[in-house]
Amino acid sequence: MLGTFLFFGVDHLLTRVRDEVPEVGANRIVADHPPSDSRAAALRRTLTELEGPDVFQLADAFLPNLAEQEDRVIESLRTLLR
């Protein structure tokens, strides 16, 4: 489970980079999928129905740490691209 949600966490970060750091160029980051948050929510609903809510314990413990790093990553990119 963690790998799947780690992917969505990274995808969420890339979406933020595309939207918030115009110097990167929106055409360099794939935008032809539904938003990562929507896809992750659909997967969470499906897996909860199949396996129960406990299946997400590791992902729920790890992903907030990744989310906390997003602002720093975005600011670092802005600094590097100036």
pLDDT, mean of residues 39-52: 86
Does the global pTM surpass 0.75? no
pLDDT at residue 26 greater than cutoff 80: no
Average pLDDT score over residue span 49-57: 84
pLDDT band at 65 (very low <50, low <70, confident <90, very high): confident
Task: Please give the distance of CA 7 from its chain centroid, rounded to a whole number.
Answer: 7
Q: What is the CB neighbour count within 10 angstroms for residue 48?
A: 13
CA angle 69, 39, 66 (to 5 degrees): 10
